[in-house]
Amino acid sequence: MAIVGYDDIEFAAAATVPLTSVHQPRRLLGRSATELLLDEYNNPEHKHQQILFTPELVVRASTHLPSQLVQR
């Protein structure tokens, strides 16, 4: 069994079995959302946008078999 998280919080790396997780650029997401919100509020000609952020898979022990269990 493998377990994967989706927000890569600090606890993910510090868990007893470090959790593989998808890292999201939270600060960039927040900044972009704020900029879009302010633009929509201040600009009557505002056009809705879709912004895509590239996630990053951070592989840790929760998706690795210990080397002694791997069949050869």
Mean pLDDT of 6-11: 87
71 within a domain of the structure (yes/no): no
Residue 34 sits in which domain range? 4-66
72 within domain boundaries:
no
Q: Collapse the DSSP code of 58 into the 3-class scheme (helix H, G, I; strand E, B; otherwise coil) and give the result.
A: strand
Structure tokens at 60: 């840790």
Q: How far apart are CA 31 and CA 6, in angstroms?
A: 20
Q: Does residue 49 belong to any structural domain of this protein?
A: yes
Per-residue pLDDT tens digits for 14-72: 888 899 999 999 999 999 999 999 999 999 998 989 999 999 999 999 987 666 555 55
Q: Is 9 within a domain?
A: yes
Residues 6+ apart with CB under 8 A from 25: 53
DSSP for residue 2: -
The answer to the question of residue 17 being in a domain is yes
Name the domain count of the chain.
1
Q: What DSSP designation does 52 have?
A: -
Name the pTM for this structure.
Answer: 0.65
Total Cβ atoms within 10 A of residue 8: 20
